[in-house]
Structure 1
Amino acid sequence: MKKMYINYLNNFRGLSREIWLLSLVTFINRAGAMVIPFLSLYLVNSKGFTLPQVGIIMTCFGVGSLVGTWIGGRLTDRIGFYKVIVASLFLGGVGFVFLQYLNSFYALCTGIFLLILIADAYRPAIFVASETYSKPENVTRSITLIRLAINLGFSIGPLIGGLIIANIDYSSLFWIDGLTCIVASLSLFILLKPKKVAKDAPKTILVKEGVPPHLNGFFLLFFVIMIANGVMFVQYFSVVPLYYEKAHFLSEDLIGWLLFLNGSMIVLFEMPLVSWLERKKVSKTMATFWGVILLAASFMVLNLTSWSGILIIGMLLMTLGEMIGSPFSNALALEMAPKGRKGSYMGLYSMSFSFSHIFGHNGGMNLVDSLGYDTTWTIAAVFLGIVGIATLWLYYLLKKSPRFITT
């Protein structure tokens, strides 16, 4: 046991102080993000919206994320990741506090669009920051540490959020989420000052190598794969919580415990797993492939039995796929981005998840409304099987290219 503990700690050695600070701030921010996992339940149970209406509201969530990540990527290249992260966290926190006072369908569509636009400008900036403060050989582990901070917060936040809903009300979540975003912004501003440049230092000219992301055929295929995978992954943040409640009659606090299982597994096992896969020199593209296949399996098992314990197995499979696929797909996107264009590439990479929110929530809600949960899970599994084939094709194409021989 002691040896396992020492080996676990060794996975974190060599990472810079700045990466640890970014991870701390990210944890503070994500620990308060209790609203998002329960948003679909909030809209149905507290606001009385139908599933198609919830799907449209969540589409506005996706559109806001799309615009926000695009703006965030552009701003990161122009003004730097530091200003983008601080402003996104602070203004996003203010937005979460005010969101609870919106009641009408159109007001919520507009409010969620604007809120997520501001909040998701954070995403491309944090990816660029993780590379900036890392040695080349530590980039994947740095991303993994930041993901660990996200998931540590995610595991604690929904658990507490579920207990708050069960014992108090939904309104408290908005206050906690907003205030923790503001605290995260202020913490970053205090703890991580940007490096000062001497007044007499010569100005550096930013040289952009390669082509923009929308002209990179390999990256566009990767972008489509990420959208398709994300369309199914986001079901775990809208349709699946409703499935837990409506089909298996779980209360909000039990749903919080299931989400806690996801986050706690990632905290305990993702870094050792990623380090082990790196030592085995597993291809980043193949790791992405296995992430897709395990996500497909997580949906397929839900149709095997009506026993509620299958929900735990499904969550474990999804989490394993996330632990393998997400850090390596992040690292693959950074590796495919030429110098001087990191912000644009990571902005487009982040936008893939925004497109997933646009199509995923609305599509999932309408599928369930028309065909039921069981058919929806079968469609998800088959669709992800096709995505897996596309990922194998990308692996073949990259392997033939001299520049990407190791991906």
Structure 2
Amino acid sequence: MTQRTSDSRLRQVFTNAYGGLPRAFWVQWVGVLVNRLGTFVEPFLALYLTTARGLSIGQTGLILAIHGAGCLVGPVLGGFLADRLSRRVALAGSMVAAALAMVGLGLATTPVAITAAGFVVGLTADLYRPASGAMVADLVPLAHRSRAYGLLFWAINLGFAIAAVGGGWLAERGYGLLFGLDAATCLVFGLLIFFLVRTPEQPRARTDEPAVGYRSALRDPLVVALIALTVLYSTIYTQAYVTLPLSMHMHGLSAAQFGAAIALNGVVIVLIQPFAAVWFQRFQPLHVLAVSGLVVGIGFGLTAFAQSQWAYAGTVVVWTLGEIGMAGYAQSLVSELAPPAARGRYQALFTLGFSSSMILAPVAGTTLLATVGPAGPWIGCVVGGVVLFVGHLMLSGPVNRRREAANSRTVTTTA
């Protein structure tokens, strides 16, 4: 009887974590996982440019900066395409473009050609994200949407963790394998979406509604506030790859020890996130975001007291728990606040909130490190965590009123 009860509870846990989502979403989930399993080039791009192509540190830095500029432009274009084309066509097309760009970068040999290809790779890297985010909003019922976004986040982390390990092994056998397999997984993702997913009819703005797009999104104070908090959160989070390795190096720890500590981030996410998402559904989304943002800030703040590998690993576990709470909810709220005909562009702005950290995080982290000292970045993270806590709580009332008004309009229209 005890064994049967235990099995029943386990089945219920898995049903709560994975049930209630349409088949088309799971095709998308598999595609995201396959695509991230092939993320081989990005972690090793700087090493590839300096070793395989023999470029100087200055040339490599310039190419990486131009690549980063492409990463900022890509979501803006992707959001426009997601709303003008069908989500399916926009997502599949962006994956084909990403595959071609990856092949082009692998074949480029001159600095000019490599720079141009690097920009296109950056442009296409996140071109699919607005269409992907909008597709979830189109396919998944509102009650399950935050969990669906969280599961995509889980797939991204699982795939990237495996790719980071496999990429090092492949790089030793030739960088051509990295580019070829990365391009192949992009194509697989695109083909899965194009042939196996049928999205609902593309939402269009009604004739009696004002025009929707980037301008209307940027005039929406709730959306702008959510995205501003996303920028702050992503700037804090990216310190894990900017100042955390520098801090560990200052305490005499090796790159391998940093890799082992940061690997815990993926392990904790893979083990906990799907089940934590079910538990979080008991609470108000913005309350979850407020507490999770504070935990992220405190987790990074604890780094100021870490000196050993185990201490650093402990801080990684703490801020990863906060990261799990942040996953899915902000993106789901943005999808709710967006007019259906502009979901792609609203998702693009959300993606930009994360992409901007590629520029802001290194500047903020290294500046605080140089001016305040070793504890500077981590003090800044705690302050940022407090701002995330207060900011999300302040948004709770206005966002809930907007959601209730939208739900009442939906009910009235249906009646």
Normalised by the length of structure 2, the TM-score is: 0.81
SS of the residue corresponding to residue 292 of structure 2 reads: helix
Q: Aligned-pair distance for 1:347?
A: 1.7
Distance in 2, Cα, partners of 1:259 & 1:175: 27
Give the alignment partner of residue 124 of structure 1, picking from 126, 130, 152. 130
Which residue in the other structure is 1:80 paired with? 86
Distance in 2, Cα, partners of 1:234 & 1:344: 24
Q: Aligned-pair distance for 1:371?
A: 6.5
CA RMSD for the aligned pairs? 3.5
Do the aligned partners of 2:70 and 2:121 also contact (CA within 8 Å) in 1?
Answer: yes
Distance 1:388 1:61, change over 3 A: farther
Which residue in the other structure is 2:273 paired with? 270
Deviations 1:252-280 (A, max 9, x none): 5x6555454322322222121111111x2
Which residue in the other structure is 1:381 paired with? 382
Which residue in the other structure is 1:200 paired with? none
Which residue in the other structure is 2:233 paired with? 229
Structure 1 stretch displaced more, 77-86 or 230-239: 230-239
Q: Aligned-pair distance for 1:398?
A: 3.3
Letter aligned with residue 278 of structure 2 = S
Distance in 1, Cα, partners of 2:363 & 2:176: 25
Q: Aligned-pair distance for 1:332?
A: 1.2
Deviations 1:43-93 (A, max 9, x none): 78885527x974x65554443222111111111111011111112112212
Do the aligned partners of 2:245 and 2:255 also contact (CA within 8 Å) in 1?
Answer: no
Unaligned runs of 5+ in 2: 1-5, 408-415
Do the aligned partners of 1:59 and 1:357 also contact (CA within 8 Å) in 2?
Answer: no
Percent identity for Structure 1 against Structure 2 = 24
Give the alignment partner of residue 143 of structure 1, picking from 146, 149, 163. 149
Which residue in the other structure is 1:329 paired with? 330
Unaligned runs of 5+ in 1: 198-202
Q: Aligned-pair distance for 1:339?
A: 3.0
Normalised by the length of structure 1, the TM-score is: 0.83
Distance in 2, Cα, partners of 1:41 & 1:291: 35
Do the aligned partners of 2:147 and 2:277 also contact (CA within 8 Å) in 1?
Answer: yes
Do the aligned partners of 1:207 and 1:339 also contact (CA within 8 Å) in 2?
Answer: no
Distance 1:382 1:299, change over 3 A: same
Do the aligned partners of 1:143 and 1:330 also contact (CA within 8 Å) in 2?
Answer: yes
Letter aligned with residue 49 of structure 1 = I
Distance 1:290 1:176, change over 3 A: farther
Distance 1:294 1:351, change over 3 A: same
Matched, 1:293 2:287: no
Q: Radius of gyration: which is bigger?
A: 2
1:190-209 matches, within 5 Å, as 190-192=195-197, 206-207=205-206
Which residue in the other structure is 2:344 paired with? 343
Matched, 1:177 2:182: yes
1:354-373 matches, within 5 Å, as 354-365=355-366
Give the alignment partner of residue 161 of structure 1, picking from 164, 167, 181. 167
Distance in 2, Cα, partners of 1:287 & 1:355: 23
Greater relative contact order (Cα 8 A, min sep 6): structure 1 or 2? 1
Give the alignment partner of residue 19 of structure 1, picking from 16, 22, 25. 25
Structure 1 stretch displaced more, 257-266 or 70-79: 257-266
SS of the residue corresponding to residue 94 of structure 1 reads: helix
Deviations 1:219-248 (A, max 9, x none): 111111111211222233455456556755
Which residue in the other structure is 2:217 paired with? 213
Do the aligned partners of 2:149 and 2:327 also contact (CA within 8 Å) in 1?
Answer: no
Letter aligned with residue 394 of structure 1 = L
Do the aligned partners of 2:204 and 2:341 also contact (CA within 8 Å) in 1?
Answer: no
Q: Aligned-pair distance for 1:329?
A: 0.9
Deviations 1:363-387 (A, max 9, x none): 4456557776543333333334334
Do the aligned partners of 2:89 and 2:194 also contact (CA within 8 Å) in 1?
Answer: no
SS of the residue corresponding to residue 340 of structure 2 reads: coil
Distance in 2, Cα, partners of 1:171 & 1:320: 37
Distance in 1, Cα, partners of 2:38 & 2:217: 33
Do the aligned partners of 1:156 and 1:260 also contact (CA within 8 Å) in 2?
Answer: no
Distance in 2, Cα, partners of 1:63 & 1:218: 27
Distance 1:299 1:18, change over 3 A: same
Distance 1:235 1:179, change over 3 A: farther
Letter aligned with residue 187 of structure 2 = I
Distance 1:308 1:93, change over 3 A: same
Q: For this pair of structures, how many residues does the alignment match?
A: 394
Distance in 2, Cα, partners of 1:213 & 1:204: 17
Letter aligned with residue 380 of structure 1 = C
Distance in 2, Cα, partners of 1:161 & 1:314: 26
Q: Aligned-pair distance for 1:20?
A: 0.6
